[in-house]
Amino acid sequence: MKQKIFCILIVFFVLHLIVRVYSFRKNFTTPYNSHYWKERYERSQWITFMSTEPIGDDGLYAYAGWEYVHGKNPVLNSPEVPPLGKYLIGLSILIFNNQNIFALLIGLCTLLVFYIHNMEIFKDKFQAFLPVFLFSFEPIFFEQIKAPYLDLLQLLFLLLIFICIHRKKIVLSGVFLGCFAATKNTYLSLLVVATVSGYLLTQKDKKKLLHSSVGVLISFSIFIASYARFFMLGNSFLDFLRVQKGILINNYFMAAKSKLGIVIPMFFTGYWFTWWDGIQRVAEWLPTWPVLCLVLLYYIITHKENCFLNKFSLNFIWIGLYLFFLLFVPVFPRYLLLLLPFMYNLFVWVLSKNIASRLLH
């Protein structure tokens, strides 16, 4: 019976994915017009203050990526975000003549890697697939696969980091940590380091904790390497530090405009207290979000002594630290992409534990 249900879910999962991707087919078949996007960029809010023709992050990242792969200095277009992801988007344009195929490929890879990550924890194909199945219905996921944003790519690197930690490949995890830092929010990588360190401490693995310092050095090297073109154009390491300082100040400036804790009503009610246009409804919100959170809180309260005694402790620590981080920053709905997959696999784990305990009694 379990095998039959598993097969049915896989078929439903594949068909649903095909239908969704087909509904976005125009996004993946329209050729990239570099001249059009150059004109759009030059008339946008990124160049003209109070522009009446703004472009979103997806248009900005695609144009920046196109410029990067043609030799442009990576701190001249979209300097507030590290360049690795934009280089990959530019590469997608060169290969497919389309910027959105990048997002689709990253989305499919993320689902696959999420399943591999879950196999490391559940050791059961059916239980490992259930969180992937549930997450694949998230509107926030499908918003990411139809346009070249960077959050999904960062999630992919985060999952790869956690897989390496579970497999005790600490040095390799440093490679993916460097990619994570060079994709979007660089300073978020500090949370990843804290999560991994906390996990290794709960596992009492001091040797691996020492090895993790090597991984951090490797990640820093990869992050710097993502700015190779910047250095090739004659800029010094001191110039690089000035750029990073400017990014940090800019992030603090934007954070100062946002109210504290806006992630809480966003997660539980689907209302977003924006810092520029009042309260908005989160189009991607689902009623399952507060359910996931409440089930997780219930388990932590009733089984707190077991939360950090197995491989799931890596998820617990990440969810706790990331939620705490989101309390103090200006939150966009897509930021929850780094949270929801881990809440889904914990939800399935808690559910399976409760069902198993009832069957035993």
* Model pLDDT, residue 137: 94
- Round to whole Å and give the CA distance between 331 and 16: 29
Range 217-251 burial, b when 16+ CB lie within 10 A, else e: ebbeebbbebbebbeeeebeeeeeeebeeebeeeb
User: For the segment 221-278, what is each residue's pLDDT rounded down to a tens digit?
Assistant: 999 999 999 999 999 999 999 988 888 877 666 555 667 889 999 999 999 988 877 8
Number of helices (H), then strands (E), in the chain: 18, 2
CB 312 within 8 A of CB 185: no
Q: Which pairs from 297-306 meet CB under 8 Å and 24+ separation?
A: 299/346, 299/350
* Model pLDDT, residue 359: 44
* Model pLDDT, residue 144: 93
User: For the segment 168-204, what is each residue's pLDDT rounded down to a tens digit?
Assistant: 898 899 999 999 999 998 889 999 999 998 888 887 7
CB 92 within 8 A of CB 102: yes
User: For the segment 114-156, what is each residue's pLDDT rounded down to a tens digit?
Assistant: 999 999 988 889 999 999 999 999 999 999 999 999 999 999 9
Cα dist from 288 to 118, 143, 150, 350, whole Å: 20, 17, 24, 15
* Model pLDDT, residue 26: 94
- Round to whole Å and give the CA distance between 160 and 113: 7
Q: What is the pTM of this model?
A: 0.93
